Structure 1
Amino acid sequence: MTGRKPVSQLIKRSLVEQAVDQLRTRIAQGAWSIGQRLPTEPELATDLGISRNTVREAMRVLAFSGLVEIRQGDGSYLRTAQDPLQAVQAMAQCTLEHARETRHILEAEAIGLAAQRCTPDDLKALRQALQQSGEHFHADVDAYVACDIKFHQRLVDAAHNPALSELYRYFSGVVAAALQHNMTTVPRCQSVFDLHGQILDALEQRDPELAKRLSRALIES
């Protein structure tokens, strides 16, 4: 019997999923505008014919997927009418070549902006992230991939463009999968890892063209 969930938990999970589906449908149909405060939990519970606890859990799912923002003490607000989950699912199906093309467009250009806009705090955080990556490059693949994704997210964040940061945050799962594939099929090369440090040097030199060129070399490596 181990590993089986009680029937009550399965029913509860099903109710939450149904509530999430209903709320997603209403959002897609334009029931609320972007930035609008959503009805309260009691109001939604009455409207959907479910318990407040089920509404609360459904809202957490929507918040996790990026559709809704929950503000403590203030309520829940609609962040976007475009379900990020669909975008994430589409990205998960893209080929390695498509992933590489997207990185050239998104990541390399963002790093070029970072070379112009990064702050001393950005550079310090990047140095720390790069050091952590270096400690795992010749060791555990999973640990290195996690550190490397963190470093690349910080690079994009240094462009100080929230839209680019959010896009890359969703896309980073594709980057991680491609990196995992490369590191398990191609021998690790120190010169490839060293490109990360050279990109960081280019940021410190405020040289966007060099930063982009190095970024593209890294993507192609």
Structure 2
Amino acid sequence: MPPPVDSPTAPPRGHRVRQTIAQLRERILGGEWPVGGRIPTEPQLVAALGVGRNTVREAVRALVHAGVLECRQGSGTYVVSTDELAPVVARRLTDDRMAEVVEVRRAFEVEAARLAALRRTPDDLAALDGALAAREAAWRGGRVDEFVEADAALHVAVVAAAHNGMLAELYASVGAALRSTVAQSMGDALEPERYVDHSRLVEAIRDGDPHRAAIEAGAFLEPPPGA
């Protein structure tokens, strides 16, 4: 018979906690427990995962500390993020660090555009065309919040076309920061002088020109003179 959970002959406690954290993460990333939803109670997790209450408690506490879960008194524990980096970035995002955010965006987006020009597929090009059209429609609609989301979606489509999983994961972690920089640059209204054309970026990717794609991606993220 297998040793009882949390018995002296079971795997070391730290190992069990790490395994339990991995199992919880897997269920969150798999969509079984979506963002905004409540995870099962502690007794239910004990039964489902086959570990002791203390192991479950430590694993949940670790994910709370990481910003993935949130305990709400009298209500339960909820999923607040699928990405441990996103809450860290959000906590560090302040107005006086926006210049750093733009520099990080530029590093990610220039390389993503270069790779996208080399690796894009017909499906990627269709997604880019759709995202570009949605961005243009959002601009014409005149709502800042809708334009910010549409602009972010286009940049995400460029990153997806790069077909680099790690780059996509890291870029997703700065999603909130990305939207903040766009919203800050737009202000309270979509003024004509703030419009930035992204069609040349999409065309460079379509043409398979990595050098031109990188230049186009970096052009609208250049720091102002004297920065």
TM-score (norm 1): 0.65
Residue identity matched to 2:127: A
Distance 1:36 1:135, change over 3 A: closer
- Structure 2 distance, partners of 1:203, 1:178, is 24
1:50-71: CA deviations, max 9, x gaps? 8xxx8xx63x527x3435xxxx
Counterpart CA distance in 2 for 1:84 and 1:129 is 23
Name the SS of the counterpart of 2:18 in structure 1: coil
**Match for residue 213 of structure 1?**
215
Q: Is the 8 A contact 2:144 2:186 kept in 1?
A: yes
Distance in 2 (CA, whole Å) between partners of 1:84 and 1:148 is 19
Provide, for residues 56-99 of structure 1, a one-character-per-residue CA deviation record: whole Å limited to 9, x for no partner.
Answer: x63x527x3435xxxxxxxxxxxxxxx65324322456622111
Equivalent residue runs for 1:150-189 within 5 Å: 150-184=153-187, 187-189=191-193
Partner residue, 2:7:
none
Distance in 2, Cα, partners of 1:30 & 1:117: 41
2-structure distance, mates of 1:135, 1:49: 48
Residue by residue, what CA displacement relative to the aligned partner does 1:166-198 show, whole Å, maximum 9, x if unpaired?
1111212111111111111784338x432x110
State the one-letter code of the partner of 1:181.
Answer: Q
Q: How far does the alpha carbon of each residue in 1:111-153 deviate from its partner, in whole angstroms, 9 at most, with x for none?
A: 1111101111000011011101101214111111111101100
Alpha-carbon RMSD across the aligned residues, in angstroms, is 3.6
Q: Which residue of 2 aligns with 1:32?
A: 18
State the aligned residue count: 173
1:93-132 residue pairs with structure 2 within 5 A?
Answer: 95-132=97-134
Higher helix share: 1
Structure 2: where are the runs of 5+ without partners?
1-12, 25-41, 58-70
1:3-152 to 2 correspondences below 5 Å? 31-32=17-18, 36-37=22-23, 41-42=45-46, 43=50, 46-47=53-54, 58=77, 61=79, 64-66=81-83, 84-91=86-93, 95-138=97-140, 139-152=142-155
Moved over 6 A (4+): none
Q: Write the distance in 2 (CA, Å) between the matches of 1:97 and 1:204.
A: 30
Structure 1 letter corresponding to 2:83: G
- Contact 1:99–1:175 (CA<8 Å) still a contact in 2? yes
State the TM-score, normalized to the length of structure 2: 0.64
Alpha-carbon contact 2:89-2:174 (below 8 Å) kept? no
Contact 1:65 1:85 in 2 (8 A): no
